[in-house]
Amino acid sequence: MRLDVVSLAPEAFAPLQGLGVIGRAFAAGRAELHVHNPRDYATDRYRKVDDEPYGGGAGMVLKPEPVFAAVEAIPGLPRRRVLLMSPQGQPLQQADLRRWATEYNQLLFLCGHYEGFDERIRCLADEEVSIGDFVLTGGELPAMTIINGVVRLLPGTVGTEACLEEESHSALLLEHPHYTRPANFREMEVPAVLRSGDHGAIARWRAEQQEQRTRERRPDLYARWKSQQAAE
């Protein structure tokens, strides 16, 4: 998969190249990352990429010309999706990560900065995405979050594919608890069922724990899961 990022802070993405299984996926060629600085496409002597907003107001606004020029200079693959990082976007879901990882071979990320971006930049995007109801100084962290979430879903990145199916949010429910040795740590015991060797009982316990944990911690997700179960 080809990943392109348009960002005024290209250095922010360097750590991804060495980040555990994500870094190994890049090293193995499962994904490739290209970062493009809009300043390189500015046409004035000062490489200006922002300006004061029409109508007045605080802060500076990212100009459209350098962003459009950067996007238009990026090679486009047949199955490309352009994602605009914005607190006004749709909340990021695990299903989005899986969709992007399986349906596309190129993702292009547009990272805003300053007070915001010129409204006309929105027309470059196929989707606007938010990672939460809060505002950051730029779109770099949201873009890195999505890159991490997508690359780990690419075939061969994670050693055991079953891990991806059982984790939280893969089917709305949160993941069940995990334990390892020792069986007793500071008077906290590993549940006996996990040490029983009865795989059927273990599976039932894990399913029950998923439901209970989701109901207690994320009643919104639990309600969606119950509706899905009823529909099936």
Q: What is the distance between the alpha carbons of residues 130 and 125, in angstroms, rounded to a whole number?
A: 13
Q: What is the distance between the alpha carbons of residues 129 and 141, in angstroms, rounded to a whole number?
A: 12
Bridge partners, 137 (sequence order): none
Residue type, 48: K
Bridge partners, 110 (sequence order): 6, 84
CATH of 2-151, picked from 3.50.50.60, 2.160.10.10, 3.40.1280.10, 3.40.710.10, is 3.40.1280.10
> Tell me: the pLDDT tens digits for 139-181?
999 999 999 999 999 999 986 565 555 555 668 899 999 999 9
Structure tokens at 10: 């290209």
- SS3 call for 26: helix
Side-chain-facing half-sphere of 50: CA atoms under 13 Å: 14
pLDDT greater at residue 110 or residue 232: 110
pTM: 0.89
Segments making up each domain of the chain, as ranges? 2-151, 167-231
Residue 69's pLDDT band, with cuts at 50, 70 and 90, is very high
Question: How many CB atoms lie under 10 A from the CB of residue 166?
Answer: 14
- SS3 call for 138: strand
CATH topology for the 167-231 domain: Trp Operon Repressor; Chain A (1.10.1270)
Q: What is the distance between the alpha carbons of residues 110 and 36, in angstroms, rounded to a whole number?
A: 10
> 45 to each of 67, 86, 121, how far by Cα in Å?
17, 29, 23
> Tell me: the pLDDT tens digits for 3-48?
999 999 999 999 999 999 999 999 999 999 999 999 999 988 889 9
Is the CB of residue 171 less than 8 Å from the CB of residue 206? no
Bridge partners, 6 (sequence order): 36, 110
Helix orientation angle between 219-231 and 199-217, rounded to the nearest 10 degrees: 120
Residue 145 has a pLDDT of 98
